Amino acid sequence: MKKNGTARRGIRRYHFIGVGGMGMGHLALLMLAKGYEVSGSDVKESGLTRQLRERGARISIGHHVRNLEGAQCVVYSSAISASNPEMFEAVRLHIPILRRAELLAELVNREVGITIAGAHGKTTTSSMASLLLIKAGLKPTTAIGGIVGKGYNASLGIGRHFVAEVDESDGSFLYFKPHFSIITNIDMEHLDHYQTWDRIKEAYLKFAQCTVPDGVLLVCGDDETLRDIALRSGRRFVTYGFGEGNDWVARDIQCDAQGSSYVCFHKGQFVGRFVLSVPGKHNALNSLAVVALAHELKIGPEFARETLEEFQGVARRFQRKGEVDGVMVVDDYAHHPTEIMATLQTAKTIDRTRLVVVFQPHRYTRTKALMDQFAESFVLADQMILTDIYPASEKPIEGITSEALLKKIKMQHAPQTIYLKKEEIVGHLLKTLRKGDLLLVLGAGDITRISDDVVASLKERQARQELLALVKGAGERSKDRGVIGVLMGGCSSEREVSLRSGQAVVDALVSAGCQVRPIDLTSVDPRDVKARLVGEKIDMAFIALHGRFGEDGGIQTVLDDLGIPYNGCGPGASRAAFNKVLSQRIFEEAGVLVPRTVVVRSHSFDVGRTVELLGGYPLVVKPACEGSSIGVVLAGDEPALKEGVAQALTFGGDVLIQEH
């Protein structure tokens, strides 16, 4: 095992200001794994802050001087200003202060460092590289900026290699002294820091020269500026790209909705066809960088091919959020003109009727510097919605607004574009989206919520429409059958869902001319429920209850005892369908293929044996007797697995752990 030690002599307690950010939070998790004491603060709660707290960190919501109690070193991100009260207090108390990149570099520079830099594609390339080293048994430590599916954003390995995504935005990538450096591309980005194109190029040259003298630089040779930087760096370098002058070349690139593929050549020699589950030519290029890295690490191309075929992508990188009622919804982090054009090109490889884009500009300085390029980036869209600029802690710049960008876009051969406030977007989309559309939500700010909200709203609308049609048909047949009691609410964790769907049933039955009585049940005691139903004097029941005492045979037994007819299965079939352990057993006996499963009944279970039986992470954890999505966790490592089981046990009864 790696020795815990300390990053700086004598320091055991690190305090992270802005710990909820992706890079900061994952570095804090890494420090916890290495045995340090960690505290941190942020302005709001998030999945990362909760995860840190559960793993032993002391996390505070809100910035206050009292949060520094016991801190021996303060770590901050580029989003934190000198006026932050914790920063101000740390200076006053002479507590050592480190930028996030400084601390990360201290860790990376002790190992065989593999850094990934570039204006675009860093997170995906870093994730691919991490997966490669993990699968190859090199047991790397990793620090990646995005959310990936295998639990290796920030993981402490026992091997010598450290894979890190490094940030060029504030020049902090110059702290690193890697053995292998990948530079994906260079672009007119972060002008708030660099001011000019020449300074950007100078910074990348210095970064290339940070590679240790006997190290290797891997650059996209299609970029003439990068090729020139590599030539001037004084380091051995390897090029990759689509152009024939590169050491590693991708030819015959194929892209569709399922992913991408290409034929790989190394110095003119055929290597093989590589197939990816992630779409887009840009992802083919990202993977080619990792193929070149594999060669330098003495990892064979066939192994690299098999590993890259397993790669499932990164959250917010052309992430499909769902397809509902013929509308596909995709979320993407793209916030620079180059990224936007690449993402729209990928979207156009998917056979859809229209491409509808929602875009939230990110930072006033970026919008000002690249307004003309932004205006030209959306020509492939059919319709577009523009919303307010996400400031990312910047102050507004006079004249730099989404309305100004809208005018620029309309001057181009651009799609039909409108401006909407963020809270107006979902309602507008529900009115205008139609079957066959691809909705693409773009931006690095909080616009990602729109994709989730649209999917949820489309699902709810579809369910209401299906329910309306179903109930209207039942209503026509039931007009002469007396009073229909719609049973809803209940006491399960899905009470609010039941109330909404129950009201939809009531509305549909009333519109069909039926006599309807809404009944909100607030007890699961059969005696209370029987007394309530007898008092309501209903002739039929429509069960709109969810979860326990709605889908598990409980209410069905009561209705049978009272002789009241109802919709759906009887008590026995309901119990079998609701209990996932029992229903899976029935499926197995009938010869239906089911996932490998381990059933546990307490916190004390053999984690190692369970993981071995199910073929490794990730694993799905779910309570046996709840709704299909209630209490479900996708666990990528042991802490997440234990946490998921503990959460599922709170619902009572058995817990299923299944292969993913």
Give me the active site residues, please: 122-123, 165
Whether residue 565 has a cis bond before it, omega within 30° of 0: no
Distance (Å, rounded) from C-alpha 13 to C-alpha 348?
A: 50
Q: 133 phi and psi, to 5 degrees?
A: -70, -35
Burial 217-235, CB ≥16 within 10 A → b, else e: bbbbbbbebbbebbeebeb
CB neighbours of 46 closer than 8 A, spacing ≥ 6? 20, 25
Across the strands, what pairs with 339?
none
State the Cα–Cα distance between residues 210 and 70, nearest whole angstrom: 35
- How are beta strands 73-76 and 619-623 bridged, if at all? unpaired
Cα→Cα distances 409→107, 191, 419, Å: 45, 22, 11
Rounded to 5 degrees, what are φ and ψ at 413? -80, 75
> Do residues 441 and 358 lie in contact, with contact meaning Cβ atoms separated by under 8 Å?
yes
Q: Which residue has the tokens 């931006």?
A: 443
The helix-helix angle for 526-536 and 554-562 (nearest 10°) equals 50
Q: Which amino acid is at 280?
A: G
Asked whether the beta carbons of 183 and 173 are under 8 A apart, the reply is no
Task: Provide the token pair at 204.
Answer: 């990348």
Please list, in sequence order, all residues whose beta carbon lies within 8 angstroms of the beta carbon of residue 14, skipping any fewer than 6 positions away.
7, 28, 31, 36, 37, 38, 39, 71, 72, 73, 74, 75, 103
Q: How far apart are CA 14 and CA 513, in angstroms?
A: 67
Other Cβ atoms closer than 10 A to 459: 13
